[in-house]
């Protein structure tokens, strides 16, 4: 009996010590970690957050990568994936049949329809036939700069005949999408990445990340501030880095998002003229108003859409749109480097 009592005391002591160790580990101050991956939305994704250990953070990073990969595949217009009806599936069935899709696509397209109306057509998710023509010319121009060309006005006008938003039929009840025009195609580049980043930030909170910063290319979304209560400081990239400054300004984020659209990353040149990937539906040409537009909003999908819309408008029209929208602010960088912003967009200019 004595030996049994001693064994019991020993076991109890081990459990107590183990419990104390667990409590100490639980009470440890979370450390800041950062991770990256490169296989989503053709850009670099950086996740910054806090965790009890590198292992804990790595597990969360893996979950976030899997989630963003799903959105990447869902909104892809170039590739098909086993078991997934994505945007390409819808485009391939144009004029033939309705496609049953994930509810996330329904929500994305309904958002695109709403943004089309709110921006008077400056955000146009049914503009794929024109965008694909520009995409092909840009890719060929990058491969063979000596033979780089822009699409002719006749080619663009012909493609633009197949961009009627009324031919996009989104049925939320049946979760189907149908393109009535067989030569029509969707391109959700103006909102897809922003929508995915917003969902990713929400998912980060669901898996226990109360303080995190999600950056996917030019789309940045904050989940709370830093663990010490201070806001995240986000750099606004200089659209003309050859001037010597990497950032033109910095902005503070607690909760909320910052999205930049610009002409300085995805572009090609024809006879010394730069042509970026953003195309104005009113002219079928890349706009020439600004080098970049940065939008701050609570929702990354909204910020993505509005930054595209503002890039397609002159300053006065853009400012008027921003003033109509709740919780949206913007900063414009002109071709001459002039920086202007709406009243609520507070930045620290880099020196």
Q: Tell me the per-residue pLDDT of 293-319, one tens digit each, with 9 for 90 and over.
A: 999 999 999 999 999 999 999 999 999
62-91 per-position pLDDT tens digit:
999 999 999 999 999 999 999 999 999 999
3-17, 175-189, 334-348: the lowest-pLDDT one: 3-17
How many Cα atoms sit within 13 Å of 143 on the Cβ side?
6
Judged by phi (left if over 0) then psi (alpha if -120 to 50, else beta), residue 116 lies in: alpha
Which residues neighbour 228 within 8 Å (Cβ) at sequence distance 6 or greater? none
pLDDT higher at 24 or 298: 298
Asked if the model's pLDDT at residue 162 lies above 70, the reply is yes
Q: For residue 25, is pLDDT > 80?
A: no
pLDDT of residue 62: 97
Q: What is the structure's pLDDT at 349?
A: 58
Confidence bin at 264 (pLDDT 50/70/90): confident
Kindly report the backbone phi and psi dihedral angles of residue 333, in degrees, each rounded to the nearest multiple of 5, phi listed first.
-115, 115
Phi and psi, residue 284, nearest 5° = 65, 20
Say if residue 52's pLDDT is above 60: yes
Q: Are 170 and 177 a contacting pair, CB within 8 Å?
A: yes
Give the global pTM: 0.89
CA angle 170, 174, 179 (to 5 degrees): 30
pLDDT in tens, 187-209: 999 999 999 999 999 999 999 99
pLDDT > 70? residue 287: yes
Domains of the chain: 32-72+95-351 (3.10.520.10)
Per-residue pLDDT averaged across 246-274, rounded? 91
pLDDT at 27 (0 to 100)? 57
Burial 310-341 (b: 16+ CB within 10 A, else e): bbbbebebbbebbeebeebbbbbbeeeeeeeb
Residue with the bigger pLDDT between 227 and 18: it is: 227
What does the angle CA 332 – CA 313 – CA 126 come to, to the nearest 5 degrees? Answer: 120
Which pLDDT score is estimated for 28?
A: 72
What band does 350 get if pLDDT is binned at 50, 70 and 90? Answer: low
% of the chain exceeding 90 in pLDDT: 82
């Amino acid at each position: 009996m004595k030996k049994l009592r001693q064994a019991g005391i020993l076991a109890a002591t081990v459990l107590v010590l183990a419990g104390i160790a667990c409590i100490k580990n639980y009470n440890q101050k979370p450390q800041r970690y950062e991770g990256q991956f490169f296989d989503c939305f053709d850009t670099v994704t950086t996740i910054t957050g806090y965790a009890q250990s590198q292992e804990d953070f790595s597990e969360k990073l893996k979950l976030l990568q899997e989630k963003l990969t799903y959105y990447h595949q869902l909104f892809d217009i170039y590739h098909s994936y086993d078991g997934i009806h994505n945007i390409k599936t819808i485009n391939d069935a144009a004029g033939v049949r309705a496609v049953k899709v994930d509810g996330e696509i329904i929500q994305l397209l309904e958002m695109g329809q709403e943004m089309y109306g709110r921006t008077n057509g400056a955000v146009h998710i049914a503009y794929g036939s024109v965008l694909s023509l520009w995409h092909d010319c840009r890719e060929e121009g990058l491969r063979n700069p000596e033979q780089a060309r822009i699409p002719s006005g006749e080619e663009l006008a012909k493609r633009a005949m197949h961009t009627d938003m009324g031919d996009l039929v989104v049925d939320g009840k049946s979760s189907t999408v149908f393109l009535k025009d067989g030569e029509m195609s969707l391109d959700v580049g103006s909102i897809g990445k922003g929508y995915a980043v917003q969902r990713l930030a929400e998912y980060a909170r669901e898996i226990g990340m109360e303080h995190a910063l999600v950056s996917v290319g030019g789309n940045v979304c904050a989940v709370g501030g830093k663990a010490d209560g201070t806001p995240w400081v986000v750099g606004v990239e200089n659209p003309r880095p050859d001037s010597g400054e990497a950032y033109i300004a910095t902005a503070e984020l607690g909760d909320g998002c910052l999205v930049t659209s610009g002409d300085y990353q995805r572009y090609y040149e024809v006879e010394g003229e730069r042509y970026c990937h953003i195309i104005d539906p009113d002219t079928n040409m890349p706009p020439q108003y600004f080098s970049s537009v940065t939008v701050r909003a609570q929702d990354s999908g909204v910020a993505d859409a509005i930054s595209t819309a503002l890039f397609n408008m002159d300053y006065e029209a853009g400012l008027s749109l921003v003033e109509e929208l709740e919780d949206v602010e913007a900063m414009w960088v002109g071709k001459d480097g002039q920086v202007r912003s709406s009243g609520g967009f507070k930045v620290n200019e880099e020196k």
